[in-house]
Every structure is written in structure tokens, then in C-alpha cells.
Amino acid sequence: MTGILSIVGLQASVDDKEVLKGVNLTLKPGEIHAIMGPNGSGKSTLSNVIMGHPKYEVTGGDVQFDGESILDLEPNERSLNGLFLAFQYPKEITGITLEEFLLAAHRAKQKHLHPDRPGILPFRFQKLLKEKMEMLKIDEKFMTRYLNHGFSGGEKKKAEILQMAILNPRVAILDETDSGLDVDALKVVCESVKAVQNASEEPMTILMVTHYQRILKYLEPDYVHVMKHGKIVKSGEKEFAR
Amino acid sequence: MSEDKAIFGDLNRDTFDHQDPADYMKKFRKGISEELVRHISADKNEPEWMLEHRLKAFKYFVERAMPSFGPDLSKLNFDEICFFAKAADKKGGYENWDEVPEYIKNTFDRLGIPEAERKVLAGVGAQYESEAVYHSLEKEWKDQGVIFTDLDIALQEHPDLVQKYFMKCVPANDHKFAALHGAVWSGGTFLYIPKGVKLEKPLQSYFRMNAMGMGQFEHTLIIIEDEAEGHYIEGCSAPKYGANALHAGCVEVFVGQNAKFRYSSVENWSKDTYNLNTKRAIVEAGSRMEWVGGNMGSGVTMLYPCSILKGDGSHADHLGIAFANADQIQDTGAKVFHIGKNTSSKVVMKSISKAGGKSVYRGDLKISKQASDAISSVECDALILDPISISDTIPNIKVDNHSATISHEATVGRINEDDLFYLTSRGIPMEQAQAMIVNGFIHPIVRELPMEYAVEMNRLIELEMEGSVG
């Protein structure tokens, strides 16, 4: 049984300390999976290793995307293949605006998908961006602000989902996207995630990492997994988390 | 995001490295002598005082030692440099772009100069080798008494003005390269803005060296009368040959009372050029002088724009970017001398070192005895892109009046791995992600440039960042 994202006996360490100790997980197209568990259980490490953070060393096992190992791919190549990570702590980058950044990301993606087509014109992209910002109830003025610079915690999380909406990934990992959001913002974010999921030809597959039950109410998972000490210790269908 | 941005958007390495055939060089000899100095003056039909000034400067040049600080200049061989060469023999350049020889026109076309003139500038000057090939100024400003021309022409047409100011701000005996400049200077810009005239659009001059082993010694003389305002931009480039070229230009700015002037430059000489430049301004009471500079090119750069805050309440801003790539030394900085009362200055310098390049901030701040209540802040930030590159900060501060408020801040950083991961995780290739972060780093300075030049600057950074991965 191959999924769109398969994690097979994955082991990883940081600074010679083993954090992932054999994680197994298979996500089939369109499924929503939730990973829960206490701080330090390895949830965020798992997200970062899947995306290819250079800080982590994979010491065993494999991560397969669409049946092929992606461990040798750079983060940008993983992204172009259709993998997306909504960061728990998005970085603040000064000197580059949200709009410039997303235009560059969108163009990289389009160039990968359609190498012979010319890049999107800035004004067309602006229109697309404005639509998505409206959906997420993000003020237009954020377009010209430096990427995440001076954004509140909630604004940063919304901006992550905005990036997801622009890039239209096949698999999205949402790393504690719910933390820092008030109930209204959480609703908007979850509705937007669903809207992106349903708008795609191939329904987006979602892996969400969370501490809280709260998000599961708005974004209902098909499967819930519990992680502890670098391993998935329990898995079940959606009723399991309640 | 408008199409204006595209003027310099297509620049690439070939744009700068393109070499025109240089058959005209056969007529010109290498090396420097009194005979050459006399020849230059005679060729330009200069007044007697200028010849005397040149000869005196030549004497200083012979006597003075090489600079005792900074980068190694021992490989600079004066016998291998051509100090004076003309490609197009038209005094003061053409006023009509169509008359400029085709191959020279193409070179400036490639660099985007005529297009920038049409779209954003009030006037343009273009110099090729030792002399100007083109000069223009919108009629509106001509009618108000603004003079914007080649300095060779100004010497013929406005001899009194030139004599009154020429090398009075940077004396020929200042240092060895000021002396050399005084002896062999040729071409350059003369800008005069009369009292109360506020120039709304910038003026630009572009200096291009083409032939191998060339030396360019243009002199920029700027006189801003009381209550006048203006903005002047200089661009420079040269193709790469693998033989040393020398640029020893000189910029003098006289800012009258309650006036405002901004001098911006984007210097992109080829990596085999020694760029040993002297730029200085004297600022009178209530006036403001702003230096905005980007140094990308040259093998060795020594450049420390200087503001002499002579008048009470005068102010200077020094904003600079230096990019030191492989085999480059960017020894740049700022000098500010506070002389008047209630004077203030602000220095912000950003340097980037990559692939073994070395960037040095060399500052010189002096608060003189009579300069009460001076305020000065200096901020230099260095970004080092890899372990083999170097950054250094050498601030020299001398305070003789203790009512002064002075701050000096210096930071050195590397590109954060988490920042790169964040950008690349969105599909952006590593090289582009690094260029984005570097462009972000220098953005506080680049945003002070007119938009078209900011785009050029960012494009130049991207070119420098090429090949930075792997």
C-alpha cells in the first residue's frame, strides 16, 4: 500500500542526539492526519526532516514522496515536487516584501511545472495574491511589508497558509499552525485550508502537528497519531482523539 | 512593478565585459611623464594656470609616497597604464545622441543609459575613455541657469568659475593619487546650480573605460549655490581584460548655505581595476550633503567620501554598500569633519564579503574644538557569506569638544541557516535565496536610490551571488 507520503522507519538526530527513533506513517491522497503528543516528542523534528532541514541528520529509514525517496533532494526541490511546510515559527526576513517573496516562489513553481511558459506578470500575480488574502482576511497592506517582519503570532500563521494557498501543494504539513491563533482566526485558517484542499484537482493531503484538540474540531482528521519519545505510539481513526 | 523597472533589469556579466575594438589606442602611449602632462594640456588648449597646476601636481605625484595604510598596491605598475586616450575626437562630446559613433552608442545603449535619460533624468553625460562623448540637459533647467557639462568644456566656457573652485576642496598635494589626478585629469562633469534653483530630477554621468590597461581620471566639480537643491548620479564600468586598469577620479562638491545636495554612485569597474578615488564636500551653514554609494567592482577599492561640515547647523549623510567577491578588496568608509556648531552626521555602511573577498570599513570622524553640540552616529554592518571571507572595521574617532554626542555600532553576521531553509522550502533555489537575503540586508540603503538604480543594484547583487552555491 503506497501513499503519496510514506515515512518508513525514519531515524534522525541533531547534534548527535537521536530525536526520531523509527517513525512509520503512510498518507494516502486527500487524507488528513493529525499527530499529537507532548513537547519534545519529536513532532516538529519530523516536520523539519520531511522538508529537508540541513540541521538534522537522517540516520536510518526513508521518506518517500509519490513512491520515490526524497532524502537526497534539496528543500527547494521537495517544494517543487509539491511538498509544503507551514512553519511553527516562521522566520522574519527584512528587506524583502511578502509580495516579492511569494512572486519569486510562485514563479519558481510555475517554471518547474511549465518550463516553456513565460513567468506570470506581476500585476496578474498581484490579483491572485489579493484574492487569497481576502479569503484569509489578511489586510492588503501586508503585501508590501517585509516578510513576517513585525507580524503578530497569528498574522504569521495566517501568512503561512497564504503561502500554501499560492503554492497549491500536494502535501501540506501544518506544524502547530493553530497555536497563537484566536478562535475566529483559527476558523478562518481552517476554512481556508479546506478551500485550498477542495480547489485542487487532486485533493491536498494534510499532515497536521498539534498540541490541542481545538483544531481537530474545524479540520477533521481521518487519522490521529500519538507521538512519544521519537516514535508513533498509538494510531487510530478520527474518534480516537476525543 | 511597472515596466520602468526593466531599464536595467536585463543586465548581465556580458553587458559589462563587452569590449569595443580599441584601434584608436595605437596612437596613445603608456606610462606617465612631464611630457605627457604638457601634451594633455596642449591637446585641450588649456589656459596657462591649468598647465601650471598640472605640472605642480605632477611634481607632488613624483615626490609623494604610496599610501601607508590599506591594501597592497605594489602590483600597480604606472608604466603599464595608458593615462590619456581619446576614442571620439569631439571636444566636449556631442549634443545629439545620433551623432555619437555607432559602437560607443551601442555600448551605452546596452548599459541602459539613453533609456534612463528618456524616462527619469533631467540630463545625462557620457564619458568614454578620457573624454566626454555626449552631454545633455533639459531646456527647462538650462533656462534657469543650471550648467551641466564636461569639465574640459567648462574650463573653456566658464574659466572663472572653474579656477575659483578647481581642486580647492581636494588639493593636489592631499595624497599621491590626488596628485596624479591633478596632473593627468581629463573629462568629467561640471555641475553648477544657481542660487535658489531646485532641480527636481536627477542628473547622471556614466564613465566607461573600454581599452585594456586604461587609466581614467575624470574630475567632477559640483557647485551648489545657496538655497539650491540637486541630485547627481554617477555610474561606472569597464570590461575585464586580466591587465591592470586604474581609476583615480576626483569629486569635489561645494554646498552653499541652506542648500541640499545628494551624490549617488554605482561603481562597477572590472575586477582588474584599481579604484583609488577621492570624493569630498564642503558644506556651508544650514545645508545638507548626502552620499549614497554602491561599490561592486574593482580588484582594489580605496574610497572614503568625506564631508567637511564647515557651516553651523550643517549635516551629512553617508550611506554605502561594498561587495567584496573573490580577489577583491573593498577598503571603503566615510570621513566626517565637524567644524561648525550644531553639526550632525550619520554614517550607515553595509558590507558583504564572499568567496575570499575582503571588505574593510575605514572611518575617520573628527569633532574639532569649536564644533560645539555635534551629533554623530556611525553604524557599520558586515555580512560574511563563507568562512574564507574577511571583514574588518577600523573606526578612527577624534573628539576635541566634549559637548559632542557620538555613537558607533558595528555588527558582523552570517546568513542564518534557518532563514535559508525557510526561503528554499518555498521552492526558491539556494542561490536566489541567498541573493534575497543579501538584497534584504542592503535594502535600507538601496531604497534611497531612484527606483531604476535600485533595480540595477539588486541585479548586480544577483550577478555577484551567481556561483555561490556548491
Three-class SS state of B456: helix
Band the pLDDT of B3: cuts 50, 70, 90: very low
Q: Does B436 touch chain A (CB under 8 A)?
A: yes
Band the pLDDT of A92: cuts 50, 70, 90: very high
Enclosing H/E stretch for B307? strand B306-309
Q: Measured between alpha carbons, how far is residue A122 from residues A128, A179, B366, B433 in Å? A: 10, 33, 48, 19
Domain A5-241: top CATH class: alpha beta
Smallest CA–CA separation between A237 and chain B, in Å? 30
CB contacts, 8 Å: A105 with chain B:
426-428
DSSP class per residue in A73-127: S-HHHHHHHTEEEE-SSPPP-TTSBHHHHHHHHHHHHHHHH-TTSPPPPHHHHHH
Show the CA angle centred on residue A65, arms to residues A233 and A105, nearest 5°.
115
Residues B399-418 pLDDT 10s: 999 999 999 999 999 999 99
Answer whether B120's CB lies under 8 Å from B201's CB.
yes
Q: Which of A174, A167, A141, A187 is nearest to A51 (CA)?
A: A174
Partner-chain residue, chosen from B418, B419, B430, that has the shortest CB–CB distance to A76: B430
The pLDDT assigned to B10 comes to 65
Domain ranges, ordered by start, for chain B: 3-303, 419-470
Compute the distance between CA of residue B470 and CA of residue B456 in angstroms, rounded to an integer. 26
Domain ranges, ordered by start, for chain A: 5-241
Q: Measured between alpha carbons, how far is residue A50 from residues A65, A76, A158, B54, B220 in Å? A: 10, 12, 22, 70, 58
Residues A67-81 pLDDT 10s: 999 999 999 999 999
B96, exposed or middle or buried, with CB in 10 Å at 0-12, 13-18, 19+? exposed
Partner-chain residue, chosen from B417, B422, B436, that has the shortest CB–CB distance to A87: B422
Answer whether A168's CB lies under 8 Å from A201's CB.
no
Smallest CA–CA separation between A86 and chain B, in Å? 10
Report DSSP state, residue B70.
Answer: S
Smallest CA–CA separation between B446 and chain A, in Å? 10
Q: Measured between alpha carbons, how far is residue B287 from residues B263, B290, B316, B335 in Å? A: 14, 10, 9, 17
CB contacts, 8 Å: B429 with chain A:
76, 108
This model of the complex carries an ipTM of 0.96
CB contacts, 8 Å: A96 with chain B:
436-437, 439-440, 443
Residues B161-193 pLDDT 10s: 999 999 999 999 999 999 999 999 998 899 999
Band the pLDDT of B137: cuts 50, 70, 90: confident
Residues A183-218 pLDDT 10s: 999 999 999 999 888 888 888 999 999 988 888 889
